[in-house]
Amino acid sequence: MNEYTVEAAKIRYAKLFSNKAVLDVSGWVEPNNAIPTDENAFVKRAMNNIDVFFGMYDKVIAEMNKEEFLGEKY
Amino acid sequence: MIGERMEVIQKCIKNPEYREEIKGRIAVRMAGVEDVFVEIQTRGLIPNATLNKALLYTAIDSYYKDIERIKCFHPIPFTDKHKKAAFSIKWLIKLKPIQLENMCDDDNISKKEILINEYFAIFIAMALLDLDFTLYEMPSSKYIANLLYTLYYREVNGMVLSSVMYLLECGLKKNIP
C-alpha cells in the first residue's frame, strides 16, 4: 500500500517535479507588444468604429438567421 | 515555491494601495465604455436599451481581478491586448450591462435586441485590439455571426478566447499568425 504523506509524494514524483518543462511556468513572458492600454486611444478607436460596426448588425443577424455555424447547417 | 507565488497573488489583489490604483483604472475604463454607449445611443443604433452602471462596474472590476491574477501568477508587467479583449468579452457577456427596456411586455422582441450585449462586447474587444476600421477592413458578417453564436450559446474561456482574438487581429491586419 502506498504511503500518502508529503514526503512520500515528493519521492514518488521527484522525477516529474524536476522536469521544468512540465511544471515550471516562471519563464512565461508576454509578447513584446504588451503595453499599458491608452484609454483615450481606445475610446477614439471605438468611436471611429461605431457606424461601420453597428451599421452591419442587421447583416450579422441575417447571417445568424441562416442557422449555419462555420458553414454547416445546424 | 507555491507559497511564494500565493504571497505575490495575495499582495497584488489585497494590497489596499494597489486596489486603489485598480479602482482608478476601473473608473477610467467605465467612463470610456459609458461614453461610447451613449454615443451609440445618440446615433440611434441601440434603441430601447440602457446601460446599468452597477453591472458595468462589476464586469470591469471582475475583468481587472482576472487579469491581475494572471499577471501576478506569471509574473508579467503588462497584459497583451488579446487577453484584454478576451477577458473584456468574457465579463461583458456574463454580466450583460446593457439592459432592455420593457422586455417583459414585448412579445416581438428581436434577436438583435437579445444579442446586444454579445455584439457590444465584440465591439469593445475590437477597439482594445487596436482595430480602427477607418484603417483596417472589417471582419465579414458571417464571421461575426459565428463569433456571436459562440459567445451566446457556448461556454467561453478567457484564455482560449484570447487565442481567437490573436488570430482575428492577424487576419484583419494581414499578418501570418
Q: So what's the pLDDT on residue B74?
A: 73
Measure the CA–CA gap between B90 and B132, rounded to whole angstroms.
21
The pLDDT of residue B92 is: 98
| Segments making up each domain of chain B, as ranges | 2-172
Please, what is the end-to-end C-alpha distance for chain A in angstroms?
52
* Chain B contact for A64 (CB, 8 A cutoff): yes
Task: Flag whether A1 is in a domain.
Answer: no
Q: Is residue A65 part of a domain?
A: yes
* Cβ-Cβ contacts under 8 Å, A70 against chain B: 146
Give the model's pLDDT for residue A22. 61
Residue A41 Cα distances to A6, B131, B149, angstroms:
52, 11, 29
Taking only the tens place, the pLDDT of each residue in B58-79 is 999 999 989 888 887 776 777 8
Q: Is B131 in contact with A45 (Cβ distance < 8 A)?
A: yes
User: Which residue range forms the structural domain that includes residue A43?
Assistant: 6-73
Q: What is the pLDDT of residues B91-147, one digit of tens each?
A: 999 999 999 886 666 666 788 889 999 999 999 999 999 898 988 889 999 999 999
Of A15-24, B3-12, B116-125, minimum mean pLDDT range? B3-12
Assess if residue A40 is contained within a domain. Answer: yes
Summarize pLDDT for A32-73 with one digit per residue, the tens.
556 677 888 899 999 999 999 999 999 999 998 888 777 778
Cβ contacts of B126 on chain A, cutoff 8 Å: 45-46, 49, 53
ipTM of the predicted assembly exceeds 0.95: no
Please give the grid coordinates belonging to residue B38.
Answer: 451613449
* Neighboring chain B residues of A65 at a CB cutoff of 8 Å: 111
Structure confidence at residue A23 (pLDDT): 56
Evaluate whether residue A66 is within a structural domain.
yes
- Residue B164 is predicted with a pLDDT of 96
A36 touches chain B (CB under 8 A): yes
CB contact under 8 A, A48 and B149: no
Flag whether residue A4 sits within 8 Å of chain B, measured between CB atoms.
no
Q: Are A64 and B149 in contact (CB under 8 A)?
A: yes
Q: Give, in order, the Cα–Cα distances in Å from A38 to each of A34, B32, B113.
A: 12, 11, 31
* CA distance to partner chain A, nearest, from residue B11 (Å): 18
Average pLDDT over residues A9-17: 75
Would you list the DSSP string of A5-61?
A: SHHHHHHHTHHHHT-HHHH--TT----TT-----HHHHHHHHHHHHHHHHHTHHHHH
The region of weakest confidence among A3-12, A25-34, A48-57, B38-47 is A25-34
Quick one: pLDDT at residue B119? 97
Please tell me the predicted confidence (pLDDT) of residue B2.
Answer: 56
Cβ <8 Å between A49 and B32: no
